[in-house]
């Protein structure tokens, strides 16, 4: 499937902003099931410069610098992405948790290579409470893949999706206690559980194409950026899971970036030079492009 | 080399040695150069050495050499301590140690480049990935941030101490912004002044060659090879522990001392916001910790860094020393892997051994540590937080159990080190020479390819003779490290400042320094104005108060009210009640910490401003500033029943402030900073004078009251003598107003002060329209003209009904408005870009300041 993606972020400031340094992580990446054909970022007011680079994790970032005084900032990223089905049937997904552990332990090179994704990071930290929550899903004799699916199922069924309840810095403890949150919280929770069990997991930032209810026309800006997880299954490689929707990501999941956690892949961040408050509005469209039209 | 004196001193010392000591060879003989030092002390006499030691501490205090302590309840600054007895290393041994230090620096540099590059050490299994990736010091954002030279870690510090095998062992290293070099320079200069006799018979290596190397290396890194490299010294600010050193190094080498918000990134380049506009910055020597360097890509809550700095580095437009990300090398868990890394990179053994270290993130090591938990030093591995070392042998069973659980919960976060029998060295403690454990810090700088070691260093000795706790926060002492031999080595090379700048170029004045200098002038003058007014009142009170204790005359009431207006002490003396206990009110004005304009508060603000521009003060000026600071403690002793003491105290403070003015006027370069300071001073003086005159002469009083008031004002304006020469005993308001307002010969007349202010302001750069008069210039010109055109006779006109001197008051009110607008105009023109980031959030939060423990 080919998609046209529009990710528009609008900041409105109560007082004039004199200067803005920004960093955008909005360009979909290329891998064996996804090709980004075209990408364009437009920023208003005109930045002095835009520079792109590939970061430590292999994601493409755009740095920009505005020094025109402004009260409104618009960053619009447009891209065209071809996303194909991921055939997981060819993979060996039968390795059990116990086997996976000893595989990693024996394979020092692998462990070192994945080192970053086994460890605590800014948003990922665990204690006994997290381990207690994770433990029931990870049965040593069951396939690791199945155990992660079970974890995602539990998060999907036991937790309520509530976009009003949490914000970027809500601690996982609160999410776990109140069983409410959004995709970012659920992904962090799942990653924390998986790492606490001794496996490698990373955070995926991207988009999910939503389908309008039958007979309804899709509303503009109704899509959203999305987050899910990627887990290293020995002998199969990195496999993705979507704990928010309890599905295995397929062509409707479009990947922008991978990182240890949200902190590594923030879609847009910036340092403003102003005293006022701001309002933020984000619109995302994931529009399927019908071939031949 | 030495003459044997039958030495009681050294025998006494030897008798106290418990274990191994620096002064002894392996076979127990006394090393000849230590013998020589003891002989020198013997000649001087131990009592004299003790006296000199006391003098040294006093001198360091007077120089303002301090070390900030965060958790100290008694103010922030702790004076730096220096032992007059140096730490000696013989040249031949030092040659070997230097090779080891250079090898170690090259190794650390190679590890840095590998971690933020190909990561061979991890891929080859030489270094467990957890040691790097599990460490908060590892910053993925820094992986492509390079500086244009082979070596990335340009400045490096390595701590070492002598181990039981008689070799020097590496204890620790500092890579992100090594501290201590400034203290070494200060220590050496004080030692050579106060105990020069101690060098007799000992040829001592000098610091100058290294300092010249240091400067050359840093200028050589500039991306701008043609012009004059613009090098700045980036400090987290006066709250940081080693701020004294930051200012000291900056002023020693002539680098502008800047804070994060003095800099900005624009068009991929770093710019210094100065009062003459933006100046491109080529090299930043930073003392801000890694993760605070760039809020855009690192800690977003940092107000100490520069947004976009990493990007400017990637573009090659600025060099930052050391590159951010280097904190990962301060991780203690790296120590056990140094040997393997050295083999891997250089096919060499370590020339200097490490202190035995076990990282608990490995199974075998963890087992060993837990089995031997009662005889180790346990630390957090992270080099980021400066946790105290735990000496397990002094722990109770219960504490050991708790520690065991902590380690087991997060083994990868802990390392343990052998509490080896390190050596003691002679230290002067309470007038006696006693053995104390000592650790030395060596400093290295790279010219891009090769490291050079400073022939000297910073040695610190433990406060306790038994425990190996070496920390300035815990009350240890510093020692000067002497590299000695029996023959002189080099010519007397001197430190050459800016040796590669052929054309001297005036360093830009950062906007924030400009603002601080302006306010330093204002605050200093405010204290003078206040203390002067207080003494005027005290004199008048003592002349007038009857034994009953209440003021009896009208002029006293007027003057008390005026004091309230001048010092913004409201309602204060405007109330009848306060006027009946005037000394209570006066003490309020002096020391009420909640009152914005009290002497105490103003003094604090003054010191804050002068400290923030510490790099601007020469040594003598700093001595005067420190003398002013010492006045604080004396306010507490004042009481309202001893007005003479209050008067004396105010006079003392005044004379100290005048000394500061004096040294400032005699020595401060006539640059923009000077004119801003002087402008601040004049603005404050003018505003205070106007407030006073308006409060005193708003009404036409009876001749008797008027005479008393005129006399008071003339005294306050230092004009009484002059006035009497001119007008003898004839006193009237017209002649008074003439000397106070109009006569431009008199330094305290409004006319004179406005003229000077106009002159000083005209020296400031006029960036927007150089050919026109600036807004602030216009304001002062208007005020000056009003005074010049004023007609004295009409100024003394008063209203027949309410006796108000309406013309005088209107004139003074309009001048007050014009002059009080100066601060805002200057701020808009020169300082305002300095506060952009401030306005988001003030960084008063101590957690935000990085730790810079030595």
As a whole number, mean pLDDT of residues B203-223 equals 92
Q: Of A215-229, B165-179, B640-654, where does the model show the most confidence?
A: B640-654
| Contact check, Cβ <8 Å, A63/B307 | no
Smallest CA–CA distance, residue B311 to chain A, in Å, is 8
The tokens describing B149, both together, are 């030279």
Smallest CA–CA distance, residue B849 to chain A, in Å, is 19
Evaluate if residue B475 carries a pLDDT over 60: no
The tokens describing A65, both together, are 């610098």
| Contact check, Cβ <8 Å, B296/A270 | yes
| Contact check, Cβ <8 Å, A65/B133 | no
B799-828 tens-digit pLDDT: 999 999 999 999 999 999 999 999 988 988
Burial of A28 (C-beta count, 10 Å sphere; 0-12/13-18/19+): buried
pLDDT confidence tier of residue B70, bands split at 50, 70 and 90: very low
| Contact check, Cβ <8 Å, B296/A275 | no
Q: Given this model, what pLDDT does residue B357 score?
A: 93
Evaluate if residue B549 carries a pLDDT over 60: no
Evaluate if residue B15 carries a pLDDT over 60: yes
| Contact check, Cβ <8 Å, B267/A65 | yes
Evaluate if residue B185 carries a pLDDT over 80: yes
As a whole number, mean pLDDT of residues B109-134 equals 92
- Nearest Cα residue in chain B from A120: B134
B515-546 tens-digit pLDDT: 999 999 999 999 999 999 999 999 988 887 64
Give percent of chain B with pLDDT exceeding 90.
Answer: 62
| Contact check, Cβ <8 Å, B125/A109 | yes
- Nearest Cα residue in chain B from A271: B296
Give percent of chain A with pLDDT exceeding 70.
Answer: 96
- Substitution target in A46, A52, A115, A123 with the highest count of B β-carbons within 10 Å is A115
Instruction: Check residues A19 and B847 and name the one with the higher pLDDT.
Output: A19
Q: Given this model, what pLDDT does residue A183 score?
A: 93
As a whole number, mean pLDDT of residues B186-206 equals 93
Beta carbons within 8 Å of A59's beta carbon, 6+ residues apart? A25, A27, A29, A256, A257, A258, A259, A264, A265
As a whole number, mean pLDDT of residues B669-684 equals 95
Smallest CA–CA distance, residue B334 to chain A, in Å, is 15
Q: Write out chain A in H/E/C secondary structure.
A: CEEEEEEEEEEEEEEEECCEEEEECCCCCCECCEEEEEEEEEEECCCCEEEEEECCCCCEEEEEEECCCEEEEEEEEEEEEEECCCCHHHCCCCCEHHHHHHHHHHCHHHHHHCHHHCCCECCECCCHHHHHHHHHHCCCCCEHHHHHHHHHHHHHHHCEECCCCCCCCCCHHHHHHHCEECHHHHHHHHHHHHHHCCCCEEEEEEEECCCCCCCCCCCCCEEEEEEEEEEEECCCEEEEEECCCCECCCCCEEEEEEECCHHHCCCEEEEECCCCCEEEEEEEEEEEECCCC
B386-434 tens-digit pLDDT: 557 788 888 899 999 999 999 998 898 899 998 777 788 999 988 899 9
Smallest CA–CA distance, residue B565 to chain A, in Å, is 33
Judge whether B294 and B284 are in contact, CB under 8 Å.
Answer: no
Q: Given this model, what pLDDT does residue A248 score?
A: 94
Q: Given this model, what pLDDT does residue A293 score?
A: 45
Q: Given this model, what pLDDT does residue B318 score?
A: 96
Q: Given this model, what pLDDT does residue B506 score?
A: 60
H helix runs in B717-749, sequence order: 720-727, 733-737
As a whole number, mean pLDDT of residues B501-524 equals 80
As a whole number, mean pLDDT of residues A198-219 equals 86
| Contact check, Cβ <8 Å, A55/B140 | yes
B758-807 tens-digit pLDDT: 999 999 988 667 778 888 999 999 999 999 999 999 999 999 999 999 99
| Contact check, Cβ <8 Å, A55/B141 | yes
pLDDT confidence tier of residue B508, bands split at 50, 70 and 90: confident
User: Considering only A219-228, B260-269, B597-606, which range has the smallest mean pLDDT?
Assistant: A219-228
pLDDT confidence tier of residue B843, bands split at 50, 70 and 90: very low
Q: Given this model, what pLDDT does residue B74 score?
A: 43
B316-341 tens-digit pLDDT: 999 999 999 999 999 999 999 999 99
User: In chain A, which residues have their Cβ closer than 8 Å to the Cβ of B300?
Assistant: 269, 271
Residues in a beta bridge with A229: A203, A241
pLDDT confidence tier of residue A18, bands split at 50, 70 and 90: confident
Nearest CA-CA partner of A238 in A12, A19, A32: A32
- Per-residue burial over A97-117, b if 16 or more Cβ lie within 10 Å, else e, is bebbbebbeeeeeebbbbbbb
Q: Of B16-20, B440-444, B539-543, where does the model show the most confidence?
A: B440-444
Smallest CA–CA distance, residue A68 to chain B, in Å, is 11
Q: Given this model, what pLDDT does residue B416 score?
A: 94
Please give the interface size between A and B, counted as residue pairs whose CB atoms are below 8 Å apart: 79
| Contact check, Cβ <8 Å, A49/B123 | no
Judge whether B179 and B443 are in contact, CB under 8 Å.
Answer: no
Q: Given this model, what pLDDT does residue B96 score?
A: 96
Evaluate if residue B471 carries a pLDDT over 70: no
User: In chain B, which residues have their Cβ closer than 8 Å to the Cβ of A266?
Assistant: none
- Nearest Cα residue in chain B from A51: B311
Beta carbons within 8 Å of B472's beta carbon, 6+ residues apart? B67, B78, B80, B81, B460, B478, B853, B854
φ/ψ of residue B617, rounded to 5: -95, 135
As a whole number, mean pLDDT of residues B706-734 equals 87
Show the beta-strand stretches assigned E in B7-154: 66-68, 77-79, 82-90
Give percent of chain A with pLDDT exceeding 90.
Answer: 66
- Nearest Cα residue in chain B from A107: B125
The tokens describing B568, both together, are 């913004």
pLDDT confidence tier of residue B457, bands split at 50, 70 and 90: very high
User: In chain A, which residues have their Cβ closer than 8 Å to the Cβ of B114?
Assistant: none
H helix runs in B502-642, sequence order: 511-544, 554-567, 576-580, 582-591, 599-612, 619-629, 632-635
As a whole number, mean pLDDT of residues B5-9 equals 66
Compute CA distances B390 → B228, B438, B468, whole Å.
49, 18, 10
Burial of B176 (C-beta count, 10 Å sphere; 0-12/13-18/19+): buried
Nearest CA-CA partner of B454 in B4, B94, B9, B27: B94
B729-764 tens-digit pLDDT: 788 899 999 999 999 999 999 999 999 999 999 999
- Nearest Cα residue in chain B from A62: B311
Instruction: Check residues B187 and A169 and name the one with the higher pLDDT.
Output: B187
User: In chain A, which residues have their Cβ closer than 8 Å to the Cβ of B132?
Assistant: 115
The overall average pLDDT reported for chain B is 87
As a whole number, mean pLDDT of residues B652-673 equals 94
Residues recorded for chain A: 293
Nearest CA-CA partner of B57 in B44, B66, B48: B66
Smallest CA–CA distance, residue B267 to chain A, in Å, is 6
Model pTM score: 0.85
Give percent of chain B with pLDDT exceeding 70.
Answer: 89
As a whole number, mean pLDDT of residues B481-503 equals 66
- Nearest Cα residue in chain A from B305: A271
User: Considering only A272-281, B157-166, B247-256, B301-310, which range has the smallest mean pLDDT?
Assistant: A272-281
Q: Given this model, what pLDDT does residue B847 score?
A: 33
A36-74 tens-digit pLDDT: 999 999 999 999 999 999 999 999 999 999 988 888 999
Q: Given this model, what pLDDT does residue B850 score?
A: 33
Instruction: Check residues A182 and B551 and name the one with the higher pLDDT.
Output: A182
User: In chain B, which residues have their Cβ closer than 8 Å to the Cβ of A109?
Assistant: 123, 125
B331-390 tens-digit pLDDT: 999 999 999 999 999 999 999 999 889 999 999 999 999 999 998 989 888 765 555 778
Q: How far apart are CA B256 and CA B258, in angstroms?
A: 6
| Contact check, Cβ <8 Å, B134/A120 | yes
| Contact check, Cβ <8 Å, B836/A116 | no
- Substitution target in B114, B115, B133, B263 with the highest count of A β-carbons within 10 Å is B133
B244-292 tens-digit pLDDT: 899 999 988 989 999 998 999 988 999 999 888 888 999 999 999 999 9
pLDDT confidence tier of residue B622, bands split at 50, 70 and 90: confident
Evaluate if residue B558 carries a pLDDT over 60: yes
Instruction: Check residues B572 and B845 and name the one with the higher pLDDT.
Output: B572
- Substitution target in A105, A119, A268 with the highest count of B β-carbons within 10 Å is A119
Q: Pick from A23, A51, A112: which is nearest to B296 by CB?
A: A23
Model ipTM? 0.91
pLDDT confidence tier of residue B68, bands split at 50, 70 and 90: low
Contacting A with CB below 8 Å, chain B residues are 122-123, 125, 128-130, 132-134, 140-141, 143-144, 264-268, 295-297, 300, 307-308, 311, 314-315, 836-837, 839-840
Evaluate if residue B644 carries a pLDDT over 50: yes
């Amino acid at each position: 499937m080919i998609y046209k993606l529009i990710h528009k972020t609008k900041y409105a400031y109560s007082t004039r902003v004199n200067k803005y340094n920004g960093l955008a992580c909005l360009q979909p990446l290329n891998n064996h099931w996804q090709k980004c054909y075209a990408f364009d970022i437009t920023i208003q007011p005109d930045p002095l410069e835009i520079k792109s680079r590939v970061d430590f994790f292999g994601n493409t970032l755009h740095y920009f610098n505005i020094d025109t005084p402004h009260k409104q900032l618009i960053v619009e990223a447009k891209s065209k992405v071809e996303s194909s089905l991921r055939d997981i049937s060819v993979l060996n997904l039968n390795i059990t948790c116990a086997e996976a552990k000893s595989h990693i332990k024996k394979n020092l090179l692998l462990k070192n290579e994945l080192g970053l994704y086994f460890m605590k990071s800014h948003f990922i930290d665990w204690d006994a409470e997290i381990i207690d929550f994770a433990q029931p899903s990870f049965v040593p004799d069951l396939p690791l893949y199945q155990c992660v699916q079970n974890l995602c199922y539990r998060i999907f069924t036991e937790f309520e999706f509530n976009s009003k309840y949490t914000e970027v810095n809500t601690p996982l403890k609160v999410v776990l206690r109140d069983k409410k949150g959004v995709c970012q919280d659920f992904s962090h929770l799942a990653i924390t559980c998986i790492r606490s069990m001794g496996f490698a997991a990373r955070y995926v930032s991207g988009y999910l194409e939503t389908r309008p209810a039958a007979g309804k026309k899709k509303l503009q800006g109704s899509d959203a950026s999305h987050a899910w997880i990627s887990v290293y299954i020995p002998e199969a490689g990195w496999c993705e899971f979507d704990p928010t929707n309890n599905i295995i990501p397929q062509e409707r999941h479009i990947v922008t970036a991978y990182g240890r956690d949200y902190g590594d892949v923030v879609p847009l961040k910036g340092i403003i030079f102003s005293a006022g408050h701001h309002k933020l509005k984000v619109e995302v469209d994931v529009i399927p492009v019908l071939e031949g039209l | 080399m030495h003459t044997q004196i039958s030495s009681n001193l050294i025998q006494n010392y030897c008798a106290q040695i418990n274990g191994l000591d620096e002064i002894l060879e392996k076979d127990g003989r006394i090393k000849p150069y230590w013998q020589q030092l003891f002989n020198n002390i013997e000649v001087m006499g131990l009592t004299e050495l003790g006296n000199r030691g006391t003098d040294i501490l006093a001198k360091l205090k007077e120089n303002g050499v301090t070390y900030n302590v965060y958790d100290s309840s008694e103010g922030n600054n702790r004076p730096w301590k220096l032992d007059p007895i140096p730490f000696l290393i013989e040249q031949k041994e030092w040659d070997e140690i230097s090779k080891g230090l250079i090898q170690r620096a090259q190794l650390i540099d190679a590890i840095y480049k590998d971690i933020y590059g190909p990561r061979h050490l991890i891929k080859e299994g030489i270094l467990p990935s957890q040691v790097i990736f599990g460490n908060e010091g590892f910053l993925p954002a820094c992986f492509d941030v390079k500086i244009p030279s082979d070596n990335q870690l340009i400045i490096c510090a390595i701590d070492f101490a002598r181990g039981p095998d008689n070799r020097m062992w590496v204890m620790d290293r500092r890579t992100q912004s090594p501290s201590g070099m400034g203290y070494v320079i200060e220590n050496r200069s004080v030692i050579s002044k106060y105990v020069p006799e101690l060098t007799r018979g000992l040829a001592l290596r000098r610091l100058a060659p290294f300092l010249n190397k240091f400067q050359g290396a840093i200028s050589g890194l500039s991306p701008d090879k043609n012009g004059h490299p613009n090098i700045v010294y980036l400090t987290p600010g006066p709250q940081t522990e080693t701020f004294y050193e930051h200012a000291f190094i900056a002023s020693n080498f002539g680098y502008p001392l800047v804070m994060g918000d003095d800099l900005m990134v624009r068009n991929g380049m770093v710019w210094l916001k100065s009062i003459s506009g933006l100046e491109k910055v080529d090299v930043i020597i930073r003392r801000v910790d890694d993760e605070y360097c760039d809020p855009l890509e690192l800690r977003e809550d940092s107000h100490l860094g520069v947004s976009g700095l990493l990007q400017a580095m990637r573009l090659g437009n600025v060099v930052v020393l050391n590159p951010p990300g280097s904190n990962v090398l301060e991780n203690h868990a790296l120590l056990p892997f140094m040997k393997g890394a050295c083999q891997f990179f250089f096919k060499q053994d370590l020339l200097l051994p490490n202190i035995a270290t076990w990282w608990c993130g490995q199974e075998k090591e963890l087992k060993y540590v837990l089995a031997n938990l009662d005889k180790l030093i346990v630390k957090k591995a992270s080099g980021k937080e400066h946790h105290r070392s735990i000496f397990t042998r002094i722990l109770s069973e219960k504490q050991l159990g708790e520690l065991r659980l902590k380690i087991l919960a997060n083994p990868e976060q802990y390392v343990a080190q052998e509490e080896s029998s390190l050596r003691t060295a002679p230290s002067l403690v309470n007038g006696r020479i006693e053995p104390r454990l000592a650790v030395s810090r060596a400093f290295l700088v790279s010219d891009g390819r090769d490291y050079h070691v400073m022939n000297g260093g910073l040695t610190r000795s433990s406060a306790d003779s038994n425990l190996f706790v070496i920390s300035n926060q815990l009350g240890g002492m510093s020692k000067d490290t002497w590299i000695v031999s029996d023959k002189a080595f080099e010519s007397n090379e001197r430190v050459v400042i800016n040796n590669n700048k052929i054309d001297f170029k005036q360093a830009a004045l950062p906007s924030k320094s400009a603002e601080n200098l302006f306010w330093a002038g204002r605050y200093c003058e405010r204290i003078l104005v206040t203390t002067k007014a207080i003494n005027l009142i005290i004199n008048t009170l003592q002349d007038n108060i009857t034994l009953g204790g209440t003021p009896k005359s009208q002029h006293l009431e007027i003057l008390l009210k005026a004091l309230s207006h001048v010092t913004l002490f409201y309602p204060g003396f405007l109330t009848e009640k306060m006027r009946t206990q005037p000394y209570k009110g006066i003490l309020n004005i002096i020391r009420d910490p909640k009152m914005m304009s009290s002497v105490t508060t103003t003094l604090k603000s003054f010191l804050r401003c002068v400290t923030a521009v510490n790099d601007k003060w020469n040594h003598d000026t700093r001595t005067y500033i420190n003398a002013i600071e010492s006045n604080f403690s004396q306010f507490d002793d004042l009481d309202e029943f001893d007005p003479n003491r209050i008067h004396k105290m105010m006079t003392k403070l005044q004379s100290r402030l005048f000394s500061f003015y004096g040294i400032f006027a005699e020595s401060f370069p006539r640059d923009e900073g000077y004119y801003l300071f002087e402008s601040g001073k004049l603005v404050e003086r003018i505003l205070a004078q106007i407030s006073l005159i308006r409060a005193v002469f708003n009404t036409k009083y009876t001749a008797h009251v008027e005479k008393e008031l005129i006399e008071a004002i003339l005294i306050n304006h230092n004009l009484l003598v002059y006035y009497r020469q001119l007008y003898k005993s004839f006193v009237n308001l017209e002649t008074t107003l003439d000397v106070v307002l109009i006569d431009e010969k008199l330094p305290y007349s409004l006319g004179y002060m406005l003229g000077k202010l106009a002159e000083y302001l005209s020296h400031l750069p006029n960036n927007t329209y150089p050919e026109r008069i600036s807004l602030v210039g216009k304001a002062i010109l208007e005020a000056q003209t009003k005074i010049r055109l004023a007609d004295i006779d009409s100024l003394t006109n008063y209203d027949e009904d309410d006796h108000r001197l309406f013309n005088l008051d209107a004139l003074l009110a309009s001048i007050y408005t014009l002059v009080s607008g100066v601060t805002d105009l200057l701020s808009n023109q020169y300082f305002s870009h300095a506060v952009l980031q401030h306005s988001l959030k003030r960084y008063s939060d101590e957690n935000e300041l990085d730790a810079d423990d030595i």
